[in-house]
Amino acid sequence: MALCKRGAQCCVTTIMRCCYPFKDVSAVSTYSQMLAYSRISVLSSRHYSSSQGKLGVFQRANDRCMNILQQRFPQLYILYTTFVKGFRLMVHDVKETKRIRMKMLTESVPLRELPYHEMKTIILFRKDMIKTIPLIIISIPPFAIFLVFALMCLFPRQLLIRHLWTPQQQQDFQRLYHEQRCQHRDDILKGVAWSIPHVKVWTLRSHLLTLINKMQSGTHPSVTDLHAVRDVFSGIPLGLSDMDWGHMRLMSSHLLLNPWLPGFFLRRRLRAKALDMLYLDQALDTLGQDRLTDTEIREACYLRGLDPSSLTTSQCQEWLQQWLQLSTQLTESETSLLLHNMVLLTVNYPRPRG
């Protein structure tokens, strides 16, 4: 048992030295001691749970250690608090998802009829689980948990869910993801422009050509402009059932999905993504945009392709209102327009001031 405890402490120390090169090496040993002290405090508090005085002693000692860690090693304090808060949020999401799933089963409520916040919880939890399952599989063999800890520290963006990111990591990763999305905007617009000759109805072809010319001139399209071309995205050539593999690959890259899957899987994932967004928009329209906080409004804009970091809250509200005006009028056969709106409605926003 003593060898196991010493091995675990050495592993934590090695990971921290490799992943977080602090100038003061004693920070690593302090962090290891804090982990050991936290375990002793928990065990002791359980043993003496009947004595409120001793619990108060342990609480004061824990607060004192946290103050020392915050003052002397602020980076370690941020990591520690981020992990604790993130773990609590993760447990809360698990419980909330279980409750919502039971509600869907017992009351026969489909996903599209859930309230906005419950539907958002289900969709984001599903995304987190896709990232978490490989880690769980890797950690099954004996002592593989140490390798998992090392991988989590070395590749936090790829392996950790959003709850376990520090505030700085959340900003950096969000900016990085948006830059990756922006890399494919021009190619997607070119793909839409190249599809114009394949539109059989002359009026639709004219409206689509006018829309592309406006966007290439730097004009932000209106809801009316996009509504006029909605039929183009329900059939040939830009509907989800008729889109060619090259354009599907571009759309998948823009949505941060794997673009190298076979065409059948690409089409299926794009359709699932579009339906989730359509149902989420319908639930948000039912709830009302005014019921969202400023943070939730920015999160909703980012989820739909807009970078809110350089925009004011009023600009985010204006853009989200434009999005909902269009999306709530679409049917399931026209959801391809929702995916393209992540480009069409964001490239030239905000509107240029005359």
Q: What is the pLDDT of residues 69-101, one digit of tens each?
A: 667 777 777 777 887 888 888 889 999 999 999
Q: Classify 351 as helix, strand or coil.
A: coil
- Asked if 34 and 80 touch (Cβ cutoff 8 Å), the reply is yes
- pTM of this prediction? 0.76
Helical H segments across the chain, by residue range = 2-19, 26-47, 52-72, 74-106, 116-138, 144-154, 156-159, 167-182, 185-194, 202-216, 223-227, 245-254, 263-287, 294-303, 313-327, 336-344
Among the listed residues 187, 151, 152, the one whose alpha carbon sits nearest the alpha carbon of residue 166: 152
Q: Residue 151 in contact with residue 140, Cβ under 8 Å?
A: no
Q: Indicate the residue type of 351.
A: R
Rounded Cα–Cα distance for residues 83 and 34 (Å): 14
Q: Assess contact for 255 and 270: CB atoms under 8 A.
A: yes
Average pLDDT over residues 142-158: 76
- Establish whether the linkage from the previous residue to 262 is cis, with ω within 30° of 0: no
**What pLDDT is recorded for position 167?**
83
pLDDT tens digits, residue range 274-305? 999 999 999 999 999 999 999 999 999 999 99
Per-residue confidence band for 107, with pLDDT thresholds at 50, 70 and 90: very high
